[in-house]
Amino acid sequence: MRYVIIGAGVAGISAVEAIRSVDSDGEIIMVSDDPYGYYSRPGLAYYLTGELEDKALFPRTKEHYQKLNFNFLKARVTRILRSDHAVLVDGKSKLVYNKLLIAVGARAMPLGVAGANLEGVVKLDHLADAKHILKLAKRGKTLLARGMKVNYLLRGDRYWSNVLDKHESHVVEERLTEEGVVLHHKAELKEVIGKKGHVVGAMLVDGRTLKCDMLAYAVGISPCMELMEETNLAKDRGLLVNEHLQTTDLDIYAAGDVAQVYDPLSGKSALDSLWSPAHEQGRVAGWNMAGRKAAYLKSAPFNVTRLAGLTTTIIGTVGRGKDEDLIGIARGDSETWRELPEAIIAQSGFDVNHMRLMVGEKTLVGAILMGDQTLSWPLQKMIAGKADISSIREQIMATDAPLADLVAQFWMTWRTEEAL
């Protein structure tokens, strides 16, 4: 049995580990053109700020890879030849497979304005991007954490408007301003101005011009779908897969950012760009590829991130539809967050320690915690486990309700009952 995995991200590595837990003898070949192999994408931002060294981005040891006994081929798959059960590598050599996993991820949406290709216009997609940014930064003027004056362009009237409410946006913006970031609301880039091939400024749609030595953009990501163009595999925003992570070709699987995964509990197919779903999808795909039947049941998506230095956890359905600042889904994002919930809002704390709960008829469907993270894990488990909060729902919805105390007390009771 030969397993071929395209992509070296968390979904790909998780699939290798899952395959090996079932099949100790099959041949596994991972193909990727990323020179750095598997590393922590979420850690790249902290690498840029200097909080992590590059070694800390690599969570697996050489010994771990040796135990997995797979071959890594540094190359690019240029075509999938379904009729031959093979992939074309670097446009010339065929690599035959019995089971194929597509885990090629997603990439940053291009900056569609004149001057986007000038030196100094950067994105943060890969470790190579991060290293390039730091190389440019060493010329003297760098990121805010390293002393650079930063201007932040927002198309809308507030920060991350489809996920955060007005208060939460205000808290983040206020902290950014305190750190020295200059915010420009309802501002849109028209053209990148260059001199001798390097960026020197940004022209806005309203006619203003901002001087700059570096221009970073993050307008959304899109699944890497080029390989699927000639395959006739079912696709939508991403590559469509069933709960077993199979495409419409049952020997071809997909996982991670490229996969639009069907969730039998909701009856919907959604994109996620989060580490945990990618890891779980890779594992389920690997098990199924190796013959162990398993279903991927989408749990409430969550992410623990840092917004303007403020730790923030986002869980489940909390959104308000489309975000004006994004063309597609963002990295570290979930389409589920953007679904408009059938819920009532309960919130407490109007400083940096803030909790917002989306309260359904009998369950919590989403939550945002800013600052104090004591209840982050309990809320993740309660929302994912669809805990029946009927007994405290009326108390939660009361004016000035002590939400933290109510949630903590309920968690202790519910956890005990679940254990029994």
Gap between the Cα atoms of 114 and 194, Å rounded: 10
Q: Give the pLDDT score at 197.
A: 95
| Mean pLDDT (whole number) for 90-107 | 95
Residues making up the chain, counted from first to last: 420
Query: pTM here?
Result: 0.88
Is residue 168 pLDDT above 70, yes or no? yes
Q: Which of 289, 313, 328 is the last residue of a domain?
A: 289
Question: Is residue 156 situated within a structural domain?
Answer: yes
| Mean pLDDT (whole number) for 100-119 | 95
Gap between the Cα atoms of 355 and 312, Å rounded: 10
Cβ(143)–Cβ(137) below 8 Å: yes
**99 plus 238 within the same structural domain:** yes
Q: Give the pLDDT score at 45.
A: 87
Alpha helix (H) ranges present in 181-302?
Answer: 275-289
| Mean pLDDT (whole number) for 73-84 | 95
Domain that holds residue 97: 2-106+221-289
Q: Which of 34-48, 65-79, 258-272, 370-384 shows the lowest mean pLDDT across its residues?
A: 258-272
Q: Give the pLDDT score at 152.
A: 95
Q: Which of 138-152, 222-236, 299-313, 369-383 shows the lowest mean pLDDT across its residues?
A: 138-152
**198 plus 253 within the same structural domain:** no
What is the DSSP annotation of 47-104? HHTTSS-GGGG--S-HHHHHHHT-EEEES-EEEEEGGGTEEEETTTEEEE-SEEEE--
CATH code, 150: 3.50.50.60
Q: Which of 64-78, 317-331, 381-395 shows the lowest mean pLDDT across its residues?
A: 317-331
Total structural domains within the chain:
3
CATH code, 341: 3.30.390.30
Q: Give the pLDDT score at 25.
A: 95
Q: What percent of the chain has pLDDT over 70?
A: 90
Question: Is residue 297 situated within a structural domain?
Answer: no
Is residue 395 pLDDT above 90, yes or no? yes
**148 plus 200 within the same structural domain:** yes
Gap between the Cα atoms of 271 and 259, Å rounded: 7
Gap between the Cα atoms of 24 and 27, Å rounded: 9
The residue to which tokens 């389409």 are assigned:
335
**pLDDT tens-digit map of 291-345:** 999 999 888 888 888 888 899 999 988 876 555 555 566 676 666 665 656 667 8
From the list 214, 51, 53, 212, the residue with the least C-alpha distance to 136 is 214
- Read off the pLDDT band of 141 (50, 70, 90): very low
Q: Give the pLDDT score at 13.
A: 96
| Mean pLDDT (whole number) for 338-358 | 76
Q: Give the pLDDT score at 241.
A: 96
Question: Is residue 296 situated within a structural domain?
Answer: no
Question: Is residue 353 situated within a structural domain?
Answer: yes
Q: Give the pLDDT score at 138.
A: 67
For 350-380, b/e burial (b = at least 16 CB within 10 A) is eebbbbbbbbbeebbbbbbbbeeeebbebbb
**183 plus 261 within the same structural domain:** no
**32 plus 49 within the same structural domain:** yes
| Mean pLDDT (whole number) for 29-41 | 93
Question: Is residue 254 situated within a structural domain?
Answer: yes
- Read off the pLDDT band of 346 (50, 70, 90): confident
Under 8 Å CB-to-CB from 377, ≥6 apart: which residues? none
Question: Is residue 294 situated within a structural domain?
Answer: no
- Read off the pLDDT band of 140 (50, 70, 90): very low
Q: Give the pLDDT score at 400.
A: 87
Q: Give the pLDDT score at 142.
A: 42
Give the best-scoring range by mean pLDDT among 4-18, 252-266, 328-342.
4-18
- Residue 152: what residue type? Y
Gap between the Cα atoms of 393 and 380, Å rounded: 18
Helix axis angle, 403-419 to 376-384, nearest 10°: 60
**95 plus 135 within the same structural domain:** no
| Mean pLDDT (whole number) for 199-222 | 93
**232 plus 98 within the same structural domain:** yes
